[in-house]
Structure 1
Amino acid sequence: MGEQLKAMEAVHKFTWAKLMSDMFEKMENAFMFADLHLFINVVNGIMIMHCEDLLILRRCAATYIAMSIHFNSLFASQGFFLIMPTLLRCYSQRQTNRVFCSVVEFLCRQFYTLHRKPFLLQMCGSVANIIDNN
């Protein structure tokens, strides 16, 4: 029974991740940024709970990249503050999982390629905030 519940939970979260990804693709670039963090938090929660499931990890990573491209102006100013704390905490807790670590490193390389200096500054700000809270 436990494995069936876990599998059903994973399918449910994968469906939510797909819904969020499809929704981000259909949104206009000028969407009200004040509400966007609510949708990003759904993807962050899925990443925290199921980041070791490869299908969900791939979907969340693709969603993060698509968001950073689609909402370019938000991510150039403050968007990485919404996703980097989640990625960094998961990375620090799962350093023995080579696949997960390589996906997070790939995401950071892609974010740097897309946004350069804003990504670095926001990532350092996210790290500083995590260190201050600990």
Structure 2
Amino acid sequence: MATNHGSPVVESESHPEPTPQDESHSAATGNEWQSVTFSVPWVVRGADTGQDAINIAVSEVGKRISAASDRTRNRNIEVQSLGCNDCNSRTEALLLVSKTALVGLFVTLDVQAKSAEEAERRARREIGPHLEDTPLTSVDVSRE
């Protein structure tokens, strides 16, 4: 785990987007902005260090989801962390073997929807095609 003066360094990339529709339209349709978070595994090849793998994963996923339509906003990527119950420590969700890494990421984006289920479907439909053959596991849906 990379540290900076004893505290973990968390790589994150945020893509704030302007609201595509004005507030009166969302109120008229009954849609509310909902935040959807997916757990995303990302494979990185050719990484020399764990930090390199994290930087590459965040960059690659960021480029792909920035191509999502304007029906989303506030796209954010964070590295997942894993906790140890025995020693109360946390580490980044990263496995690096022979310059090939698996990095666990959280991808969060806001979509307009009437319910949590609809928000998850819309978010999956928006970023799924840009993360081809990558499982998207929903871990949280909440109102903005």
Query: TM-score by structure 1 length?
Result: 0.29
Q: Which has the higher contact order (CA 8 A, sep 6+)?
A: 2
**Which structure's residues are more often strand, by fraction?**
2
Query: TM-score by structure 2 length?
Result: 0.27
Higher-Rg member (1/2): 2
**Which structure's residues are more often helix, by fraction?**
1
